[in-house]
């Protein structure tokens, strides 16, 4: 009986780690050079979608320190100032937690525009911070491109996260 208890605890811990694992694994895979045009611009899109989804549906499995670690990893992979995406992802995490009661009751057609608006805001803040640090106005095209990627890719990413949420990450199956 003791072994079964140990295996159940290990299973529960593994299921609890899935949201952070999806964040890190996705960032690492997108950090590999596949030669795809615009591949580097997909990393923040993926990170924002991942943090938004898991903060909304499994907030206890993606705590703030894990979000911060994912942001630092994104900064290191994307050569942005260290801490920039960590702060932006933590802001997103906090906003989603604050809005969670209203959002979780709504359907996908409500949460998709909310995600799109929050992602656009994050990209504008990142652009502004990098412009200030670079002491010059950076082009706006990457902001528009990343926002467009966010709007277009979130449904596919959400479908993937839903499958993971109901499958390997399902705590009730542990």
pLDDT value for 51: 97
Q: Write out the DSSP string of 21-73.
A: HHHHHHHHHHHS----TTHHHHHHHHHHHHHHHHHHH-GGGS-HHHHHHHHHH
**Which two tokens mark 75?**
């900064």
Range of the domain at 80: 2-173
Is residue 171's pLDDT more than 70?
A: no
Residues 141-169 have a mean pLDDT of 91
Q: How many domains does the chain have?
A: 1
Report d(CA 134, CA 17) in Å as an integer.
Answer: 37
Give the pLDDT score at 4. 65
Residues 41/145, Cβ–Cβ less than 8 Å: yes
Q: What percent of the chain has pLDDT over 70?
A: 95
Q: How confident is the model at residue 7 (pLDDT cuts 50, 70, 90)?
A: confident
HSE-CB of 87 using CA atoms within 13 angstroms? 9
The phi, psi pair for 158, rounded to 5°, reads -65, -40
Question: Residue 170 pLDDT more than 80?
Answer: no
pLDDT in tens, 132-141: 988 888 888 8
Which tens digit of pLDDT belongs to each residue from 28-79? 999 888 888 878 889 999 999 999 999 999 998 899 999 999 999 999 998 7
Question: In whole angstroms, what is the distance from residue 72 CA to residue 65 CA?
Answer: 11
pLDDT at 85 over 90: yes
- Mean pLDDT on 143-169: 91
Using a cut of 0.85, tell me whether the model's pTM lies above it: yes
> What is the predicted pLDDT for the residue at 172?
63
Q: Which residue has the higher pLDDT, 70 or 15?
A: 70
Torsional sign, CA 21, 153, 151, 135 = positive
Which residue has better confidence, 110 or 2?
110
């Amino acid at each position: 009986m003791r072994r079964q208890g140990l295996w159940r605890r290990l299973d529960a811990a593994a299921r609890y780690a899935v949201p952070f694992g999806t964040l890190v694994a996705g960032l690492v895979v997108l950090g590999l050079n596949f030669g795809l045009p615009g591949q580097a611009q997909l990393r923040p899109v993926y990170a924002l979608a991942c943090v938004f989804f898991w903060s909304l549906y499994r907030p206890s499995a993606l705590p703030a320190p894990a979000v911060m670690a994912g942001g630092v990893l994104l900064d290191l992979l994307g050569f942005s100032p260290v801490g920039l995406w960590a702060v932006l992802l933590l802001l997103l995490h906090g906003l989603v937690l604050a809005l969670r009661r209203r959002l979780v009751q709504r359907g996908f057609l409500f949460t998709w525009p909310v995600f799109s608006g929050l992602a656009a805001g994050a990209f504008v803040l990142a652009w502004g911070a990098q412009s200030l640090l670079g002491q010059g106005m950076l082009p706006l095209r990457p902001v528009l491109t990343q926002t467009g990627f966010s709007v277009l890719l979130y449904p596919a990413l959400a479908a993937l996260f839903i499958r993971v949420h109901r499958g390997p990450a399902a705590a009730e199956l542990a």
